Amino acid sequence: MKSHLLIVGSLAFDDLEMPFGTFENVVGGAATYSALAASLFTEVRVVGVVGADFPEDTLSKIAGRGVDTRGVERANGKTFRWRGRYSKDLSSRESLDTQLNVFADFRPKIIPEYRDSQYVLLGNIHPALQLEVLSQVTAPKLVAADTMNFWISGERKLLTDVLSKVSLLTINDEEARDLSGEHALPKAARAIRGMLAADSGPRTLIIKRGEHGALLFDEHGMFFVPAYPLEDVKDPTGAGDSFAGGLLGHLTRTGDVSARSLRAAMFYGSALGSFCVEDVGPARLFTLEKQDLSRRLDGFRKMVDSHGALDGA
Amino acid sequence: MKSHLLIVGSLAFDDLEMPFGTFENVVGGAATYSALAASLFTEVRVVGVVGADFPEDTLSKIAGRGVDTRGVERANGKTFRWRGRYSKDLSSRESLDTQLNVFADFRPKIIPEYRDSQYVLLGNIHPALQLEVLSQVTAPKLVAADTMNFWISGERKLLTDVLSKVSLLTINDEEARDLSGEHALPKAARAIRGMLAADSGPRTLIIKRGEHGALLFDEHGMFFVPAYPLEDVKDPTGAGDSFAGGLLGHLTRTGDVSARSLRAAMFYGSALGSFCVEDVGPARLFTLEKQDLSRRLDGFRKMVDSHGALDGA
């Protein structure tokens, strides 16, 4: 049976104040980035909500990449909107405005056609909603989740409940420290892996560090992939979500969640993150071809190829 | 013929205000850290200056690690002293006070016994002094250098002259950007590699990124090693110098500056940096054994072992 990846999260409009200009009404949202990234690998199903102002044409373009958008609800009102300003070197950003709009009342409804999804990516939404999603899927093989400081400090009990049903968590350094109360990442990872589901898939924590790569912690230890150094970074928005999409896309396509497959997935995640930042918004993800991916993988291969330096060292 | 590594740079006293307490009169200096790190691999010769206040016993302890300290001059006056305060998470530091003392009049004298050194590490000193060192060594096989923003902006002409005689440069991101005028690291690396010596050894730029690892750029492309995530980081002082010491130590021991050897050296550098930060000052480097190093290398091996994930991917 063919595997599908179910992605639940936000679709949005972003207003991006970049050092080289301001871009308004850019299509965004974690689910958008993750779905577009994953669509290069596998069949993706998206659940989210948009307002009356979200162009049908944009949904069609997303669907045109092989994303099943039947699960995207259209509500009366405006689409979720975020406005942010990036620092000159793009290494940090400031949220200027967040308008939840139709996302404020979002209750994820998993349509019957989606309930058999074997791979699930719970985007960074309220833990109560993440639990509602899980109650509607029948027998997922691997559930991955993202979260953020807001839920770690404000909804810890519900979040703990989510984590106990999840086998793969992707967060950043700071979130890992807040969630575990440990500063050193190996200690934080040990604590967090202990919170994850024991019975479904390998307990895996992935710490995303933006331009500094990503660390995976699983039962085999830790594994690192660098970010791909680019000639020209235009817009980091959505890079972490694209990483998650590439990662889960690979796992879904292969149906393999072994240590080896997870490590390959880390490279695919990092590759998709690197494509994402090459243009403003998700533009690059709309044009990405399998050949682009295989060329970038060649780049990664070189970048981590020690020419056998550690053999018998 | 046995190869030796000549290291020229500072020996110092550091006063370290750490989040968990203040440590005064800690033995420091780039040459101290680099020499102790390299001494695990090879015979090291040090050129620098200390004041009347530097304990003979400390020099003996350094010599006890297999470091030839005959090139360390003792001058009338006080030893170079630096006082710094680290942020709570140790990710940044502030210089509170720098007293050059005897280092202000330092003119490196390469004693006759040192002049045949085949490997040279020019620490972060005035470019004019780096040139004086080079004029005194007879036929180095590989010259490596460190520098800093202060010389990049203030002594660019002399520094350019140094770079044209150096085949391996170790600097950080910001310095690479300042030196090249390019923000993107691949572009910066291309520009900087063009400034390096064409006739001695492979033109290699290594960008040190602290807890975020290190990137090597050479004729084969770029290569990345992560920093080793530790349970407990006590003091980052000297980590970059220990990295350089481990790196050069390996190259000197093997007498091999091939792409493979440089990539192995990156792991040794990162390993020595990771040991350095485990205790305050260079304390850990005084007790380090070859077995500790081989255990850490095992850790690195695991951390970059993709289980063949990229083979044929």
Inspect the interface and report whether the beta carbons of A223 and B303 lie closer than 8 Å.
yes
Amino acid sitting at position B49: V
pLDDT for B236 equals 96
- For helices A239-254 and A30-38, the axis angle rounded to 10 degrees is 40
Q: What is the dihedral of CA B137, B139, B140, B143, to 10 degrees?
A: 70
B308 and A260 Cβ atoms separated by less than 8 Å = yes
pLDDT for B313 equals 59
Inspect the interface and report whether the beta carbons of A306 and B231 lie closer than 8 Å.
no
Residues contacting residue B210 through CB under 8 Å, at least 6 positions apart: B172, B227, B236, B239, B240
Q: Which of A222, A264, A302 sits opposite B313 (nearest CB)?
A: A264
Inspect the interface and report whether the beta carbons of B213 and A226 lie closer than 8 Å.
yes
Query: B4-303: which CATH topology?
Result: UDP-N-acetylmuramoyl-L-alanine:D-glutamate ligase (3.40.1190)
- pLDDT of B289 strictly over 90: yes
pLDDT for B2 equals 84
| Tokens standing for residue A77 | 């009102």
Residues contacting residue A138 through CB under 8 Å, at least 6 positions apart: A115, A116
* pLDDT, tens only, B42-73: 999 999 999 999 999 999 999 999 999 999 99
| Tokens standing for residue A183 | 């500063």
Smallest Cα distance from A15 to chain B, Å: 25
- Choose from A90, A173, A223, A311 for mutation: most chain B CBs within 10 A: A223
* pLDDT, tens only, B232-246: 899 999 999 999 999
| Location of structure tokens 């003792």 | B74
- For helices B290-303 and B259-276, the axis angle rounded to 10 degrees is 110
- Closest chain B residue to the Cα of A290, Cα to Cα: B313
- Choose from A232, A297, A310 for mutation: most chain B CBs within 10 A: A310
- pLDDT of B193 strictly over 80: yes
Q: Which helix (H) or strand (E) holds B118?
A: none
Structure confidence at residue A310 as a pLDDT band (50, 70, 90): confident
**pLDDT above 90: percentage of residues in chain A:** 91
Inspect the interface and report whether the beta carbons of B213 and A209 lie closer than 8 Å.
no
Q: Which helix (H) or strand (E) holds A50?
A: strand A43-50
pLDDT for A312 equals 64
Q: Which of A212, A261, A307 sits opposite B259 (nearest CB)?
A: A307
At residue B21, φ and ψ (nearest 5 deg) are 145, 165
* pLDDT, tens only, B118-168: 999 999 999 999 999 999 999 999 999 999 999 999 999 999 999 999 999
- pLDDT of A309 strictly over 90: no
How many alpha carbons fall within 13 Å on the CB side of residue A178? Answer: 16
Among B191, B71, B92, smallest CA distance to B136 is for B71
Inspect the interface and report whether the beta carbons of B223 and A302 lie closer than 8 Å.
yes
Contacts of A212 in chain B (CB under 8 A): 209, 212-213
* pLDDT, tens only, A162-206: 999 999 999 999 999 999 999 889 999 999 999 999 877 789 999
Inspect the interface and report whether the beta carbons of A213 and B212 lie closer than 8 Å.
yes
